[in-house]
Amino acid sequence: MKVIFLDVDGVLNCTKTIRGWGKMRFVDTRKMLRVREICDRTGAKVVISSSWREGAREDALPVDKMQWQSLIAEFDKHRIPVIGITPFAPDRWRGDEICMWLKSQEEPVKEFVIVDDIVCDLAGFVLVGRVVQTVDAWGLTKEKMEECIKILGETK
């Protein structure tokens, strides 16, 4: 199995395209299509590691639930396979949460990439060489998409 650990803000949207009302934010269709291309070319599936996953919790605030539902609807609309979210570990680093998810899988994960604009909480883990850092001003560019594909390996 190949997996993309995916952040949202600064990856699926950027400072040029982010829009919304109040606390609610949305994603950029062009960036969603790039994720779809990564999945199509590599056979990878998505695990959401973004703080947006808070909206999946039963006790989430209504605005967070609405934002989560809109995100899942976007993945469905673009036929992007989402297979889960990283676990919530409030006192741990995001790298810990990703490692926890990897260890919990019955099917071995052969390749993975982490796509995020903030990577300081990923340092020091077995994640070196697996991180593609975006810039929040641009999000997931074509160049970063190709970097992800290179790490995951294109399906022949």
**pLDDT tens sequence for the chain (156 residues):** 999 999 998 899 887 766 555 444 678 889 999 999 999 999 999 999 988 787 788 888 888 888 889 889 999 999 999 999 999 887 778 888 898 999 999 999 999 999 998 877 666 656 678 899 999 889 999 999 999 999 999 986
Helices (H), 9-131: 29-42, 62-77, 94-103
Q: What sign results for the dihedral spanned by CA atoms 3, 115, 129, 138?
A: positive
Domain boundaries defined on the chain: 2-152
What is the pTM for the complete model shown? 0.90
Evaluate whether the domain defined by 2-152 bears CATH number 3.40.50.11270.
Answer: no
What are the backbone dihedrals phi and psi of residue 30, each rounded to the nearest 5 degrees, phi first? -60, -35
Contact yes or no for 64/72 (Cβ under 8 A): no
* Bridge partner residues of 45 (DSSP): 3
Q: Report the pLDDT value the prediction gives residue 67, as an integer from 0 to 100.
A: 83
